[in-house]
Chains A and B, each alone.
Chain A
Amino acid sequence: MKKYIIPSIRITIVLTIVLCVIYPVSIMLAGKLSKGAGNGETVVVNGKVVGYANVGQSFTKPQYFWGRPSAVAYNAVGSGGSNKGPSNPDYLKDVSNRIDTLLKYHPYLKRSEIPADLVTASGSGLDPDLSPEAVKIQIKRVAKFRKLDEQKIAALVDSHIEAPLLGLFGPPKVNVLKLNVALDQLK
């Protein structure tokens, strides 16, 4: 064994320099050219950062579109899902309560119109997106609280639907933060 320990130590030191200094620093430098300069892409309103484009945030006020339930309350210092199993009675009660809350604010909805993503917690607790269906069912409520024309908001929602990758791969989605920022700017 002794014969191998010294080379082990030496190659560990050399590789540490290559893999933990040269490699990550080069990527960091290249990343400066990306949107957000490698710090994460921010959303700015009136010169103020109001959030990160890819990271969901909490929307509870009725004049905003709501995002998905979050097991970490959108506290981005950490992240995580509920980790509740599919047959857990407490979890099923949570979902049932969320459906009731949703129906209270959207009395015009039929239960079968509620998409699952609006009443289930995301994996990261920071999901920035919703399915287009989950956004569309909120239009009427948002219009009512903003005293705005429903058609106008519907058009805004349509313009915020992001198509699948190359129009071919993956689900369509709506970024809730970007939509709400645009909503605030709507006159």
Chain B
Amino acid sequence: MNTELLGIIASFAITMLIAIPLGRYLAKMYAGEKIWTDFLKPVEKGIFKLSGINPNEPMNWKQFLKAMISINILWLVYGFFVLIYQDKLPLNPDGNVGQSADTAFNTIISFVANCNLQHYSGESGATYLTQHFIFMFLHFVSAATGMACAVAIFKAFRDKTATDLGNFWNFFLKSITRVLLPVSIVIALILTFNGTPSSYAGKDKFISLQGDTVNMSRGPAAQMIAIKHLGTNGGGWFGANSAHPLENPNYLTNMTEIIAQFIIPVAMILAFGFFIRRKKLGWMMFGVMMFGVMMFMIPTITSELGGNPLIAKMGISQAAGAMEGKEVRIGPTATAYWSVLTTVTSTGSVNGMHDSTMALTGLWQLLAMMVNGFFGGCGVGLMNYFIYVIIAVFISGLMVGRTPEFLGHKVEAREVKIAALITLLSPFLIMAGTALASYMVTAHANIDWAVKPSTWLNNPKYHGFSEMLYEYTSSNANNGSGFEGLGDGNIFWNVTTGIVILLGRFLPIIGPVAIAGLLAQKKFIPESAGTLKIDTLTFGIMTFAVIVVLNALSYFPALALGPLAEHFSMLK
């Protein structure tokens, strides 16, 4: 068998081998049961003591969300100012300048939100201080925020009736000390021993073999790249992200990084089943999600391995597949595999340039981010899927003419309203943003701005439209990858995508936690013959159908104008 295909099969197998025990571990750890990492308890105790926090204080859903929002606002404000004044702060060996206010606005929202859309390049737009103290710090804590909020949902459905969703600080800190930090250490060591720099040395200068003078950016990247993947963040050290040979030096590091970004999203789904003592439900959700992933994976790999039909016409060999924007050491198969996983989870790191992938590959990347509920980001994936489930429960209830129930709690108007609003939010943000940008490009192409809309797009026609659609889709999904040809480093894109990221992050967290909190308070209705069983294959198919219908209705027109139109124009 072809070694490139074997490579991704092995990557997937290892992911599952890690994710299943990790899911069990997470369930036990969050439940506070005895576990082998309990030797870290004194460390956590110390941190809580220094922070003046009582980790055992119960919180209802409102208190839980208030704690979460407070600390996130703090990071937004503090990070914004550090980015603006980074040139005056230490650890800036390359002498990079401070970020402009609009760039800093976009960057800090993007990193607090676990999105990591980057409108700057790491080599010149950030210093070692901001890379570590802001970006890497937020990599850890934004992932932990998402995980903690997902655990609140776990808690809501473990017991029959509950008002206590657990303590935010407790889940938050344990996510870091018991998972994110220890696993990051392992990954960072693998990376640094395979060639990713980890020292604080600044730029280097040398004369190449052929006699050119070359300057080269470096820096302590291994530490950040580890958590960038594990926490499904995606914001890279270098501009080219994980396509950069120092971020991703060989096939082993490539496997490590792709496994790292998928284990927590998978493990969290399974952990949900273990935690609420309904293993079958966890596996059913996993099954639906995996089916969805395969629907993206198979056509993506096929379209990349097939190569570019317009280059095929030039008569050269594309035996390996489409190579534009890809790296030889990684190969098109592993790049296609990565492009699917980085868009279904909210990682958004890339090991090849998405802008240069085939039109249909772009379609699957976009759709994966639009659905945003097949595994998804650390913790938040579960919440997005939860919204789909509530809608599916509601529709099923209507179909059989009974009050819909979810795990023994009546789903009533208030919960369904919240779920419906969250469902409508994504298409609204994506479509409104893309429409506004398209309007500027077509009607005010030469308006008197510092960066004229006529210069935004790197590609003409349908593909140019796809670049704009991708940017807002990625922002809303908190993904952070981009069709990087887009000229997005200016005030229009910084402000509009910043707003989309902020809304696309926090409303889809607040909504599900609120629904879970409201449901958990209600009287528990024991299971009877008339109960809708949500861990069955039938309900799995129902949920999948709801996901397909909602997304097809919302996005088909836009996808038809972008990637689909481009694909068919290339077949002419």
Contact = CB atoms under 8 A, between A and B. Distances in A.
Interface of A: 1, 3-12, 14-16, 18-20, 23-24, 26-28, 30-42, 45, 48-61, 64, 68, 74-89, 91-92, 95-96, 99, 111-117, 119-131, 133, 164-165, 167-173, 177, 180-181, 184
A160 to B, nearest CB: 13
B154 interface: no
User: What are the 8 tightest A-B residue pairs by CB atom distance, in nearest-first order?
Assistant: A83-B485, A123-B243, A85-B463, A31-B198, A170-B251, A79-B240, A4-B70, A81-B353
A31 B198 CA distance: 6
B439 interface: no
B280 to A, nearest CB: 34
Given A38-B192, A58-B210, A130-B328, A11 B169 contact: yes
A80 B209 contact: no
Interface string B336-358: 00000000000000111101111
A96 B570 CA distance: 17
Nearest to A32: B199
21 contacts: A5-B70, A8-B70, A12-B71, A19-B141, A27-B185, A35-B195, A36-B197, A55-B216, A78-B239, A79-B240, A82-B325, A85-B466, A85-B566, A86-B356, A86-B570, A87-B461, A120-B324, A121-B325, A165-B7, A165-B250, A171-B328
A77 B195 contact: no
Given A78-B123, A128-B245, A170-B330, A85 B355 contact: yes
Contacts of B6: 168-169
A20 B224 CA distance: 10
B192 A27 contact: yes
Given A10-B53, A86-B324, 15 more contacts: A12-B71, A23-B181, A41-B195, A54-B245, A76-B216, A80-B239, A84-B355, A84-B356, A91-B324, A95-B311, A111-B315, A115-B316, A123-B353, A124-B244, A127-B327
B255 A169 contact: yes
Nearest to A35: B195
A34 B214 CA distance: 24
A38 B570 contact: no
A123 B133 contact: no
B181 A76 contact: no
B195 A83 contact: no
Contact of B325 (A111, A122, A129): A122
A31 to B, nearest CB: 4
Nearest to B48: A11
A51 B214 contact: yes
Interface of B: 3-4, 6-7, 10, 47, 50-53, 66-67, 69-71, 74-75, 78, 121, 123-124, 132-133, 136-137, 140-141, 169, 173, 176, 181, 184-185, 188-189, 192-193, 195, 197-201, 203-204, 206-210, 212, 214-218, 220, 222-224, 238-240, 243-246, 249-252, 254-255, 307-308, 310-311, 314-331, 334-335, 350-353, 355-359, 458-463, 466, 483-485, 566, 569-570
Given A8-B74, A56-B245, A85-B459, A131 B328 contact: yes
Contact of B193 (A34, A53, A92): A34
Contact of B359 (A6, A23, A86): A86
Contacts of B47: 11, 14-15, 18
Given A80-B240, A129-B327, A170-B254, A11 B137 contact: no
B393 to A, nearest CB: 33
A111 to B, nearest CB: 4
Most buried by B among A1, A39, A96, A167: A39
Given A12-B74, A58-B208, A116 B316 contact: yes
A170 B209 contact: no
Given A113-B317, A165-B7, A4 B66 contact: yes
B236 to A, nearest CB: 10
A101 to B, nearest CB: 13
A56 B322 CA distance: 20
B219 to A, nearest CB: 10
Contacts of B463: 85-88
Contacts of B244: 79, 124, 126
Nearest to B313: A92
Contacts of B245: 54-56, 124, 126-128
B218 A39 contact: yes
B217 A78 contact: yes
Contacts of B334: 170
Nearest to B197: A40
A149 B214 CA distance: 32
A156 B144 CA distance: 51
B168 to A, nearest CB: 9
Contacts of B323: 116-117, 120
A12 B50 contact: no
Contacts of B462: 87
Contacts of B10: 168-169
Given A27-B223, A88-B459, A165-B250, A11 B51 contact: yes
Nearest to A89: B460
Most buried by B among A36, A88, A92, A164: A88
Nearest to B563: A85
Nearest to B303: A86
Nearest to B216: A76
A111 B239 CA distance: 34
A44 B198 CA distance: 20
A64 B210 contact: yes
Given A38-B198, A116-B322, A119-B316, A20 B136 contact: yes
A52 to B, nearest CB: 7
A91 B463 CA distance: 13
Contacts of B250: 54, 165
B328 A92 contact: no
A64 B212 CA distance: 14
B316 A10 contact: no
A180 B209 contact: yes
B214 A115 contact: no
A82 B47 CA distance: 47
